[in-house]
Amino acid sequence: MSRQWCHLCHELVAALEPVAAEFGWEIEVFDVDQDAGLEARWDEWVPVLLHGERELCHYRFDEAAVRAYCAGFPLESRA
């Protein structure tokens, strides 16, 4: 969850990009200001990094927490 004008949001995405590239992930950014429901839920918590409904970190990218969470998933073949 992000905002266009939020410098912390841009910093979190920039910090996430190398990890996402390493694992072959796609980053999908949702602007909370474009959806009243998202804004009501996440308003002052952005930026928030989610996997589904699971919050992995907010405000700053927590690489250790993200890697620990992802370690619980089996590796997939990139064939």
Query: CA-CA distances (angstroms) from residue 46 to 39, 49, 73, 75?
Result: 9, 9, 26, 29
- State pTM to two decimals: 0.84
At 1 the pLDDT is: 95
Question: Could you tell me the residue ranges of all domains in the chain?
Answer: 45-73
pLDDT digits (tens, 9 = 90+) for 62-77: 999 999 988 887 665 5
| Residue pLDDT, tens place only, 5-56 | 999 999 999 999 999 998 888 999 999 999 999 999 999 999 999 998 999 9
